[in-house]
């Protein structure tokens, strides 16, 4: 089977979408399938044997820290030249909208996947009035697909409510061989804690953007000097965050990749994730695989991964100071240890092969249905 993946984001970018795609592509090719990726041109033209076709990329007005490829008739030419058995458009919004439009127009089997709660982000960028328009736009795009994938049951329910058609949940995965406690490093802990290795090290990993609500963590540092914080990642909100956390026990590292990132997880004590807008939060699974207890917002996608008091602690985002009070409970080392052991044990059953095979089975089903 020739699989054409059209995605708004790909290497060298690093986020949950890219992580899922790279593992899936690797699996597809191991199973003997051909994969071609269409993505914004960021200087990468190959991934482990899969061709990457880059389209011109430039900055977007409201998100200046990242390059995007915009709608283009070039997408049609790529689809016609590649003549794939199936087209999978990932997070269609800009260039991906062209992928959906032309795949549908040319009558190719089409799968679309929904990974980012862009309508919810409108609140964080002070454009709440456009949310109905955003839902209309994404519904129009996704309803041209034969099947739509999303990453949690709660998100599926929301998409069903907004009249998205043929929505199925794409299982989550994590590389349990790569993210594990064996990567713990004293030198990494020294770096992340700013030399304060005796304190409880909180870790945040992700894109630095307003919707991540990272500011909440500052209140923990102000309340107790027993904590230090490492913020791993980059994004449009970094300079504002650096000013906000100035004078506190916070260290900004920028992006980390590969073994360096695995070591960061394994060398921390607690993973903190205040965001309430995630469709999945892959970093939660990575942290658990590294043996970290998690503090996260009580929300549908999070509750599908974490049971409060078992693999981590969930705070109520609607209750003032509940995030701070929840994190403070983890000053108790015995509680951290019990949560850590449960998180690590429960995540071991996961991997990437199962979710990749699920996608492959879906592709075959859509292709067969289209032929019929």
Q: Can you tell me the distance from the alpha carbon of 223 to that of 326, in angstroms, rounded to the nearest whole number?
A: 12
Residues 343 and 303 in one domain: yes
Residues 95 and 196 in one domain: no
Residues 100 and 201 in one domain: no
Residues 29 and 136 in one domain: yes
Rounded (10°) angle between helices 258-267 and 282-289: 70
The answer to whether the beta carbons of residues 189 and 198 sit under 8 Å apart is no
Lookup: tokens for 63: 């998100």
Contacts of 174 by beta carbon, 8 Å cutoff, 6+ apart: 282, 285, 286, 288, 289, 347, 350, 351, 352
Residues 158 and 272 in one domain: no
Q: Cβ–Cβ contacts within 10 Å for residue 113, how many? A: 25
The answer to whether the beta carbons of residues 219 and 324 sit under 8 Å apart is yes
Residues 265 and 166 in one domain: no
Lookup: tokens for 150: 């999303």
pLDDT score recorded for residue 22:
96
Tokens 């996260």 found at? 296
> DSSP letters of 120-161?
HHTTTTT-GGGHHHHHHHHHHHHTTSSEEEES-HHHHHHHHH
Beta bridge partners of 337: none
pTM across the whole model: 0.83
pLDDT score recorded for residue 63:
61
Q: Can you tell me the distance from the alpha carbon of 277 to that of 142, in angstroms, rounded to the nearest whole number?
A: 20
Cis bond upstream, residue 6 (ω within 30): no
One digit per residue, pLDDT tens: the chain, 372 residues? Answer: 999 999 999 998 878 899 999 999 999 999 999 999 999 999 999 999 999 999 999 987 666 667 899 999 999 999 999 999 999 999 999 999 999 999 999 999 999 999 988 887 777 677 788 899 999 999 999 999 999 999 989 899 999 999 999 999 999 899 998 999 999 999 999 999 999 999 999 999 998 989 899 999 999 999 999 999 999 999 889 999 999 999 999 999 999 988 999 999 999 999 999 998 876 678 999 999 999 999 999 988 788 889 999 999 999 999 999 999 999 999 999 999 999 999 999 998 888 999 999 999 999 999 999 886
The answer to whether the beta carbons of residues 8 and 91 sit under 8 Å apart is yes
Q: Quote the domain boundaries for residue 147.
A: 2-173+352-371
Residues 103 and 19 in one domain: yes
> In this structure, what CATH number is given to the domain that contains residue 273?
3.40.50.2000
Residues 125 and 221 in one domain: no
Residues 229 and 313 in one domain: yes
Contacts of 48 by beta carbon, 8 Å cutoff, 6+ apart: 25, 26, 29
pLDDT score recorded for residue 117:
84
Residues 106 and 32 in one domain: yes
With the C-alpha atoms ordered 12, 17, 21, 22, is the resulting torsion angle positive or negative?
A: positive
pLDDT score recorded for residue 140:
98
Q: Can you tell me the distance from the alpha carbon of 2 to that of 247, in angstroms, rounded to the nearest whole number?
A: 54
Domains: count for the chain: 2
Nearest to 280 by CA among 301, 299, 295: 301
Residues 57 and 79 in one domain: yes
Residues 160 and 270 in one domain: no
């Amino acid at each position: 089977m020739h699989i054409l993946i059209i995605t708004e984001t790909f290497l060298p970018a690093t986020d949950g979408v890219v992580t899922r795609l790279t593992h899936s592509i690797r699996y597809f090719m191991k199973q003997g399938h051909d994969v071609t990726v269409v993505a914004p041109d960021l200087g990468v033209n190959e991934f482990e044997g899969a061709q990457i076709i880059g389209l011109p990329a430039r900055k977007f007005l409201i998100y200046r820290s990242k390059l995007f490829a915009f709608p283009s008739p070039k997408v049609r030419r790529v689809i016609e030249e590649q003549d794939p058995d199936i087209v999978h458009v990932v997070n269609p919004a800009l260039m991906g909208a062209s992928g959906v439009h032309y795949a549908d127009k040319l009558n190719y089997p089409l799968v679309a996947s929904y990974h980012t709660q862009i309508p919810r982000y409108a609140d964080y960028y002070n454009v709440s009035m456009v949310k109905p328009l955003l839902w209309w736009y994404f519904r129009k795009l996704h309803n041209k697909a034969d099947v739509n994938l999303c990453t949690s049951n709660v998100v599926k329910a929301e998409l069903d409510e907004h009249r998205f058609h043929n929505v199925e949940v794409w299982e989550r995965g994590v590389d349990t061989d790569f993210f594990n406690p064996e990567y713990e490093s004293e030198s990494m802990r020294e770096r992340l804690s700013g030399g304060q290795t005796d304190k409880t090290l909180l870790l945040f990993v992700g894109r630095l953007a307003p919707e991540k609500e990272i500011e909440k963590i500052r209140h923990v540092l102000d309340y107790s000097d027993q904590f230090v914080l490492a913020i791993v990642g980059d994004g449009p909100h970094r300079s504002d965050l650096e000013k906000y956390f100035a004078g506190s026990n916070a260290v900004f590292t920028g992006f980390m990749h590969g073994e360096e990132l695995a070591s960061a997880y394994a060398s921390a004590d607690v993973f903190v994730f205040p965001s309430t807008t995630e469709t999945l939060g892959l970093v939660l699974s990575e942290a658990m695989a590294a043996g970290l207890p998690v503090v996260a917002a009580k929300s549908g996608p999070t509750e599908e991964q974490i049971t409060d008091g078992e693999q981590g602690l969930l705070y109520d985002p609607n209750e003032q100071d509940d995030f701070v009070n929840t994190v403070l409970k983890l000053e108790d080392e015995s509680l951290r240890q019990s949560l850590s052991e449960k998180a690590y044990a429960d995540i071991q059953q996961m991997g990437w092969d199962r979710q990749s095979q699920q996608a492959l089975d879906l592709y075959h089903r859509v292709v067969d249905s289209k032929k019929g």
